[in-house]
């Protein structure tokens, strides 16, 4: 029996969803010197709470251990993600009537990938992010950034300073929060009565249906459905007022929330959208163990197919290299036991990753230019959700064959 408890309702966690073995943190990229040192690994085993049905990974490592000052993820390295952020800022500014008298606060603002567009529209904004490297880049763009973890205590400090938000943005951060109750409670305090919260997160239903087990890693503490978020939000004093389906990260939701006692209410169309997604989740039986049956076996099949592909390519004397030193790729490679004998190099555009080594597999990360000089025959795109973007980058190399392993092994 596990000694872990649900991070929302404190019910003992006893029902396992999937076990991906022991792995190092997926964003803990190594220097050459660190290769000679012991590497810490943690269990990567996901549970579902049978009381509130939050799917979750126990917090084996503190957030401070995972989101270190030199945390190597920079959102702006993806052009498609920046374009997504710019579209969001344009439509949301019009939707909420944001202007020079408004305040936009982004939680996990990273390198300013989104707030740069808010700033460009003359809307006051504030970023909150715990990582030193990303925060420094954001400040270089002129974005005021508080380098701390967000929660109720920080929200109360900001309110005491006279700062309350018309819009709180939290894109792809809910999963990263060990104390999700405290995080949402902080939102409630920081929000103006007429303000709104906008959160984006990979949809649990998409994760299960798309066999997206590689999006499980230690920095992702929770895997969220709309129904579960509704329970947690209500507990924190928030209500869901609208929801949108997104194609990002293999299928995400953008959920709009407001203070329960505030002036914002759902319109008829928004209510229908909320009802439709809740019904999809009910049809998939997310609030029962049936939804999770067979997930482990589907992950094992993907692992075996990847290994078979890499071995076949090697036997034919052809070269396969990886592209995108993404956290999800590290989960996949470490689960499959792939190292540099089968995948000699991975390319990435992020300067913070070039010259380092992937955690666990110790595969070297090189620049795209050096990678091309090695004349690969095949490209394994590790951030499969960006596969089309990656392929388009090398349109002048028609001989390259691009592949992804999730949701199944296929040539793009």
What number is the average pLDDT over the span 61-80? 62
- The model's confidence at residue 21, banded by pLDDT at 50, 70 and 90, is very high
Under 8 Å CB-to-CB from 401, ≥6 apart: which residues?
377, 378, 379, 411
Per residue, what are the HEC states of 108-157?
CCCCCCCHHHHHHCCCCEEEECCCHHHHHHHHHCCCCEECCCCCHHHHHH
CA distance 312 to 317: 9
Q: Which of 395, 397, 359 is nearest to 25 (CA)?
A: 359
User: In terms of pLDDT, which residue wins out, 143 or 72?
Assistant: 143
Burial class (CB in 10 A: 0-12, 13-18, 19+), 83: exposed
Helix 226-236 to helix 268-283 angle (10° resolution) is: 120
What number is the average pLDDT over the span 191-211? 96
pLDDT tens-digit readout, 386-405: 888 899 999 888 889 999 99
pLDDT at residue number 69: 56
Neighbour count for residue 159 (Cβ, 10 Å): 15
pLDDT tens-digit readout, 28-52: 999 999 999 999 999 999 999 999 9
pLDDT at residue number 313: 96
Residue 380 has pLDDT above 60, yes or no: yes
CA distance 184 to 230: 11
Residue 71 has pLDDT above 70, yes or no: no
pLDDT at residue number 268: 73
Q: Sketch out the chain's domains with CATH numbers.
A: 75-291 (3.40.50.150), 295-411 (3.40.50.720)
Residue 70 has pLDDT above 70, yes or no: no
The mean predicted confidence, pLDDT, of the chain is 92
pLDDT at residue number 207: 96
As a whole number of Å, the end-to-end CA separation of the chain is: 43
What number is the average pLDDT over the span 9-15? 96
CA distance 357 to 379: 18
Question: Mapping DSSP to helix (H, G, I), strand (E, B) and coil, where does residue 361 land?
Answer: coil
- Using omega within 30 degrees of 0 as the cis cutoff, is the peptide bond preceding 158 cis? no
Residue 68 has pLDDT above 70, yes or no: no
pLDDT tens-digit readout, 236-249: 999 999 999 998 87
CA distance 79 to 389: 8
pLDDT at residue number 265: 67
Under 8 Å CB-to-CB from 99, ≥6 apart: which residues?
93, 122, 123
Looking at the chain, the whole-number percentage of residues with pLDDT higher than 70 is: 95
pLDDT tens-digit readout, 94-141: 999 999 999 999 999 999 889 999 999 999 999 999 989 899 999 999
User: In terms of pLDDT, which residue wins out, 83 or 154?
Assistant: 154
Neighbour count for residue 96 (Cβ, 10 Å): 18
pLDDT at residue number 410: 95
pLDDT tens-digit readout, 276-327: 999 999 999 999 999 999 999 999 999 999 999 999 999 999 999 999 999 9
Q: Which of 106, 111, 147 is nearest to 127 (CA)?
A: 106
- The model's confidence at residue 77, banded by pLDDT at 50, 70 and 90, is low
Q: Which of 399, 351, 350 is nearest to 372 (CA)?
A: 399
Range from 3-7, 20-24, 27-31, 260-264 carrying the lowest mean pLDDT: 260-264
């Amino acid at each position: 029996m596990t000694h872990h408890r649900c991070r929302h309702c404190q019910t003992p966690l006893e029902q396992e969803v999937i076990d991906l073995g022991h792995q190092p943190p997926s964003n803990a990229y190594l220097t050459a010197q660190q290769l000679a040192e012991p590497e810490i690994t943690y269990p990567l085993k996901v549970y579902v709470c049978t009381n509130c049905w939050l799917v979750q990974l126990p917090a084996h490592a503190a957030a401070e251990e995972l989101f270190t000052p030199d945390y190597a993820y920079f959102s702006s390295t993806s052009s498609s993600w920046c374009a997504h952020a710019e579209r969001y800022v344009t439509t949301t500014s019009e939707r909420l009537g944001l202007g020079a008298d408004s305040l936009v606060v982004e939680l996990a603002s990273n390198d300013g990938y989104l707030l740069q567009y808010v700033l460009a529209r003359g809307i006051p904004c504030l970023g909150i992010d715990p990582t030193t490297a990303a925060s420094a880049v954001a400040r270089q763009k002129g974005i005021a950034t508080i380098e701390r973890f967000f929660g109720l205590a920080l929200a109360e400090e900001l309110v005491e300073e006279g700062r309350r938000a018309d819009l709180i943005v939290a894109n792809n951060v809910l999963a990263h929060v060990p104390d999700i109750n405290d995080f949402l409670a902080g939102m409630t305090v920081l929000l103006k009565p007429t303000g709104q919260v906008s959160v984006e997160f990979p949809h649990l239903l998409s994760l299960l249906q798309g066999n997206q087990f590689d999006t499980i890693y230690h920095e992702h503490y929770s895997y969220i459905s709309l129904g579960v978020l509704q329970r947690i939000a209500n507990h924190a004093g928030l209500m869901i007022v609208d929801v949108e389906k997104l194609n990002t990260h293999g299928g995400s939701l953008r959920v709009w929330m407001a203070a329960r006692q505030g002036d914002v209410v759902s319109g008829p169309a928004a209510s229908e959208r909320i009802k439709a997604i809740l019904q999809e989740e009910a049809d998939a039986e997310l609030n029962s163990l049936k939804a999770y049956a067979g997930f482990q076996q589907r992950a094992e099949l993907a692992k075996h197919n990847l290994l078979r592909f890499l071995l076949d390519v090697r036997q034919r004397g052809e070269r396969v290299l990886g592209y995108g030193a993404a956290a999800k790729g590290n989960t996949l490679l470490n689960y499959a036991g792939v190292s540099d004998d089968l995948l000699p190099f991975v390319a990435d555009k992020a300067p913070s990753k070039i010259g380092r080594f992937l955690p666990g597999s110790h595969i070297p990360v090189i620049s795209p230019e050096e990678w091309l000089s090695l004349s690969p025959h095949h490209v394994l795109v590790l951030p499969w959700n960006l596969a089309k973007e990656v392929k388009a980058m090398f349109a002048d190399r028609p001989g390259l064959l691009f592949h992804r392993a999730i949701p199944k092994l296929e040539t793009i």
